[in-house]
Structure formats: structure tokens, C-alpha cells
Amino acid sequence: MTTGLLYDPIYLAHETGPGHPECPERLSVSMRHLHAQPWYDQLVQVPPRVAEEQWLAEVHDREYIKHVRLTCRSGAAYLDSMDVSICSESYDVALQAAGGVMAMADAVMDGRIDNGFGMVRPPGHHAESSKALGFCLFNNIAILARYLQKQHGFKKILILDWDVHHGNGTQHTFEEDPTVLYISTHQYPYYPGTGAAHETGIGKGKGYTLNCPMPAGSDDSDYEKVFQDRIIPAIDNFQPEFVLISAGFDAHKSDPLAQINLSTEFYGWMSDVLLDKAALHANGHLLSVLEGGYNLKKIPECIGLHVSKLLATSH
């Protein structure tokens, strides 16, 4: 058993237009970097599949799913807002992203892999139940969490979102649900405007949302402190049965879209923490799904380090 890599050239077919930061090159340069690593051949390739509507509908309104399909296939340039650029293939690519992360879950349950990384696009964590936002069409990580619960019987899921932008869609999906602990580190105040520290969940879900808003300029030491003081104790208290990471790499100090100053090496540190917690509480069950990260020189390095940590742990 080992580490799975979910990737397919289909993910390059989601064309966002000239100059758009969420571009196909994010994946193509990252895949070239992974191919060059001496450990690449140890990865188990996980092919994607098309997500069935029943699983999309665990998170998204059926009318919204139809709206995404019709809008993409109409040839429109945008979906719901100017920051969600689409092309005629975008709906089909988004189905393969959401379906691909479920295929990783199946591979874990079949014993083919211990953990895995989903190199997918479009990203997902901004997608609301009935609205596309922030480059996202369908909320891949939220769909995966529901799939793990309803298809594979896991009761308690951790989602750790280290993207530099708050995962508004993921928070809203689970904010009334005590079976999913959503933890986010993100620049604040910043896009999309959600993720204040006082947002801790609603009703039965109160206490199962942990937002760690970070001021612009925060660095490795600031993030390490919030992990030690707040995040690690919350994970240990919750004792998740499965660990999911919304793995955005846009909190890197060289990323063009934000002002957080994490080093490449710190993504390895965070990876180690989550792998340790998965080993302690979740029988090693961990899946990581790509969100943001827009510096085409740094995202390959960050992904390469992250995947190497997954691989080192799975042996």
C-alpha cells in the first residue's frame, strides 16, 4: 500500500482565458515536477471518474447542478460571477474533479492506497450550495466528506483548509453538522469576507467550525503558534476517523494573490502534523485535494514536498 495520485489531462480542458490565475499550467508544471522526482514511480495512479448527480446533490441544489451544466454548455464565459471563468467543457471537467476525489476514497477503502493527493481543477472550497464563487464550480472536498460518510460509513470527518482564502462554501455546508470539524487558516480580512473567529458553527454544529484568521504578513512562526495553541488540540479533542485537507498553496510568500508569508518548507511541516493526527486517530486515513496556489514556480515545489511527505508516511 502506498500514496495515490489523482490526475488526468481532462483537468487541463477547463479553460479560464488569457491571464487568469487559475490556469491549466498550474497542473501541467506541477506534473512535470512530480515526474522528475526519483520517487514518482512509487505513486499509485488513481484515474478519475464522473461524479454521479446523487453525490453532487449531497452538497449542491439540483437546480444549481442543472444551471452549471446548461451555462457551461451554452458557451458562456462566466458562471454566476466574473471571477468564475468557464468554457464549454468546464461542467464535464468539474464532474471529473468531484468524481476523482471519490475514486481516491474508494482506493483507500479497497486497500490500494493509504493516502492520496488529488491534483484536480477547478478547485472547490468557495462553491456554495447554489452559487459558484472564487474559481469554484462544485465543492470537491465537501462532496468527498459526504461520500465518505454515506458510502463508506465514516462518522467523524476532519477538513483542514490551509488555502489562503477562507472556504466559505465548505463552512456553510457543515456549519450545523457536529460530525464534520471544519478548520481553516486564512488571510483575514480578505476574499471572500467570511471566516471570522466568532464563526464557530450553528445549532448542533456549534463548536465544530474553527476559524483561525491570520493578518496579512503572517509567517511560518505565526502559523505554527496557531497550530500548537488551537488546531492540534481541536483535532485531538474531536478524534476524526478520516482526515481531509483542502490543500491550497497560495499562502506561500511568493504567491501573487495574497499577503501571507509561508515558506515552501512549512507546507511540509503542516503535512507532517496532519499525517501524525491521521495516524493517531484515523488509522492513517488521509486525502488531500488541491485548491489554490498561483505562483507557477512555487506551486510545483510545494506540491512535490507535500506528496513526498504523504509517500514517506505510507511506507
Whole-number Å distance between alpha carbons of 144 and 210: 20
Residue in 294, 200, 209, 284 with CA at minimum distance from that of residue 251: 294
C-alpha cell at position 3: 500514496
Contact indicator for 163, 110 with CB cutoff of 8 Å: no
In angstroms, how far apart are the furthest CA atoms of the chain?
49
Task: Enumerate residues 6+ apart whose C-beta is below 8 A from 64.
Answer: 129, 130, 131
Give pLDDT tens digits for 24-47.
999 999 999 999 999 999 999 999
Task: Enumerate residues 6+ apart whose C-beta is below 8 A from 273.
Answer: 227, 231, 232
Cα distances (Å, whole numbers) of residue 287 to 11, 19, 25, 196, 314: 18, 30, 23, 26, 12
User: What integer pLDDT is reported at residue 314 of this predicted model?
Assistant: 67
Whole-number Å distance between alpha carbons of 53 and 279: 32
Pairing status of strand 78-79 against strand 81-85: antiparallel
Report, as residue numbers or ranges, the catalytic residues: 126
Q: Partners of 245 in the beta sheet?
A: 160, 288
Q: Is 9 exposed, middle or buried (0-12, 13-18, 19+ CB in 10 A)?
A: exposed
Q: What angle do CA 86, 72, 247 make, to 5 degrees?
A: 50
Intervals of the chain under pLDDT 70? 1, 314-315
Total domains present in the chain: 1
C-alpha cell at position 173: 455546508
User: What integer pLDDT is reported at residue 315 of this predicted model?
Assistant: 60
User: What integer pLDDT is reported at residue 1 of this predicted model?
Assistant: 58
- Which residues span the domain enclosing 303? 2-314
C-alpha cell at position 255: 504567491
Angle of helix 62-73 versus helix 90-109 axis, rounded to 10:
130
Whole-number Å distance between alpha carbons of 265 and 255: 15
User: What integer pLDDT is reported at residue 313 of this predicted model?
Assistant: 81
Q: Which pTM was predicted? A: 0.98
**What CATH number is given to the structural domain containing 32?**
3.40.800.20
Alpha helices in the chain (DSSP H): 25-35, 53-56, 62-73, 90-109, 140-150, 168-174, 220-226, 232-238, 264-281, 298-314
DSSP for 220-269, please give it: HHHHHHHIIIIIHHHHHHH--SEEEEEE--TTBTT-TT---BB-HHHHHH
